[in-house]
């Protein structure tokens, strides 16, 4: 069961594990309220015979709806605004923070063997650690053993810095050697790399950037000075645009933030054969502004989260526009990270 499904980052990873290692994962139900995300989801997964739960709060208003829904694994990247550094730090007092309680209600009723949750890194320190402590305490009181750590997407062969808190909880007996941490998951993932066929691995952003894209992704001469402005005359490409490992994608990237908060690339960098050497050359802001500079395309944004071009093609086919695609990519969980976690739990430890 996939809660807060978005475009199905968890499901994408499961389908990859199924393809590569034959571990069967069948989704029986998914919950999402964003109409565009649902369009992208349905365009990419075979959802026939699955329950479309819609708003989880409304669905949970009658818990007997779960009577005939049986599942072993519940996943959910629960909405993170209230825990995020960008939000107002309201946590459980903000209704968006209380989505965890909807998850708890389901666990109370169904007690699936495995739970995999994702949230922003800030969840760990939120309210001096009390928010996470409360989440862990509630899971433990339902009989779960709980593990969590911060996973950085760039450690899992994608060219994006993105720190997220992953929580794994299980009612199953675990082998003594089961030590769930980002480092141990990464090490097992790295060792398995040669057998992983369904993911594409990136060394840096040049594995993602297309050399030719529509002119509409280029910054206009009018907007360039505003986006490149950083308050200082000594703007250098190394510290602002042309990030070799992209900054974290955000759900609001379609609004285009300043260069220091977003991902912009100059044609000189995109076409360079040696990006490291290129970045050694220090350009002034004025010199840089003479070059064509562009933002990421939705296809590139999705690639930085581990999704294929075909995935975006399928979404475009059902008329999901660029703005919605950027939001979906910014909200998604990185497929490679979840793949690595699933591999660790279900293939390496064979749970
Ligand atoms: C952080 S995103 C999760 C993205 C997802 N893991 C993915 O890979 O795309 C949270 C999602 O929860 C959805 N959401 C928010 N409130 C919801 C609700 N009451 N019921 C169902 N989904 C909800 C949002 O629309 C958003 O897509």
Q: In order along the chain (351 residues), what is the average pLDDT of each group of 10 residues? A: 98 98 96 98 96 96 97 91 55 69 96 97 88 92 98 98 98 96 98 97 96 96 81 53 94 86 93 85 77 96 98 98 98 98 98 96
Please give the order of strands across the beta sheet that includes 114-120. 51-52, 29-30, 2-3, 73-77, 114-120, 163-170, 145-152
User: Whose CA is closest to atom 14 on ligand 1?
Assistant: 4
Q: Where in the chain is the domain with CATH 3.40.50.150?
A: 2-198+334-348
Q: Is the CB of 77 under 6 A from ligand 1?
A: yes
- According to the model, what pLDDT value does residue 250 have? 93
User: Whose CA is closest to atom 19 on ligand 1?
Assistant: 55
User: Whose CA is closest to atom 11 on ligand 1?
Assistant: 4
Quote the ligand 1 centre to 290 CA distance (angstroms): 40
Active site residues: 80
Quote the ligand 1 centre to 2 CA distance (angstroms): 10
- According to the model, what pLDDT value does residue 257 have? 83
Instruction: Choose one of 1, 31, 33, 39 to mutate for the ligand 1 pocket test, by most ligand atoms within 8 angstroms of C-beta.
Output: 33
CB 254 within 8 A of CB 299: no
- According to the model, what pLDDT value does residue 234 have? 53
Q: Is the CB of 97 under 6 A from ligand 1?
A: no
Question: Considering the domain 2-198+334-348, what is its CATH architecture?
Answer: 3-Layer(aba) Sandwich (3.40)
């Amino acid at each position: 069961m996939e809660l807060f499904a978005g475009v199905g980052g968890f499901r994408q990873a499961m389908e990859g594990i199924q393809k590569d290692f034959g571990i069967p994962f069948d989704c029986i139900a998914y919950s999402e309220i964003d109409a565009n995300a649902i369009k992208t989801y349905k365009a990419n997964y075979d959802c026939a015979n699955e329950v479309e739960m819609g708003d989880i709060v409304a669905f949970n208003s009658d818990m007997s709806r779960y009577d005939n829904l049986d599942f072993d694994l519940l996943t959910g990247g629960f909405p993170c605004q209230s825990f995020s550094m960008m939000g107002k730090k309201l946590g459980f007092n903000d209704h968006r923070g209380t989505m965890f309680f909807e998850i708890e209600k389901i666990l109370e009723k169904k007690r699936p063997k495995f739970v995999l949750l994702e949230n922003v890194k800030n969840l760990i320190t939120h309210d001096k650690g009390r928010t996470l402590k409360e989440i862990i305490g509630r899971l433990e009181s339902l009989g779960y053993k709980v593990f969590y750590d911060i996973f950085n997407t760039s450690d899992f062969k994608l060219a994006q810095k993105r720190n997220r808190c992953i929580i794994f909880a299980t009612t199953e007996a675990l082998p003594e050697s089961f030590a769930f941490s980002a480092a141990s998951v990464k090490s097992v993932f790295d060792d398995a790399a040669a057998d992983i066929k369904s993911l594409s691995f990136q060394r840096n952003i040049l594995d993602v950037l297309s050399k030719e894209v529509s002119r509409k992704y280029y910054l206009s001469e009018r907007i360039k000075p505003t986006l490149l402005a950083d308050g200082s005359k000594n703007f250098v490409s190394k510290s602002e645009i042309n990030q070799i490992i992209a900054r974290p994608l955000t759900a609001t990237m379609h609004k285009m933030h300043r260069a220091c908060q977003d991902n912009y690339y100059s044609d000189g960098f995109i076409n360079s054969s040696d990006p490291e050497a290129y970045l050694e050359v220090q350009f002034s802001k004025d010199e840089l502004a003479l070059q064509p500079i562009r933002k990421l395309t939705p296809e590139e944004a999705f690639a930085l989260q581990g999704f294929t071009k075909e995935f975006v093609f399928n979404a475009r086919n059902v008329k999901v526009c660029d703005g919605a695609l950027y939001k979906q990519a910014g909200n998604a969980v990185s497929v490679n990270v979840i793949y690595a976690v699933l591999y660790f739990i279900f293939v390496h430890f064979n749970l």
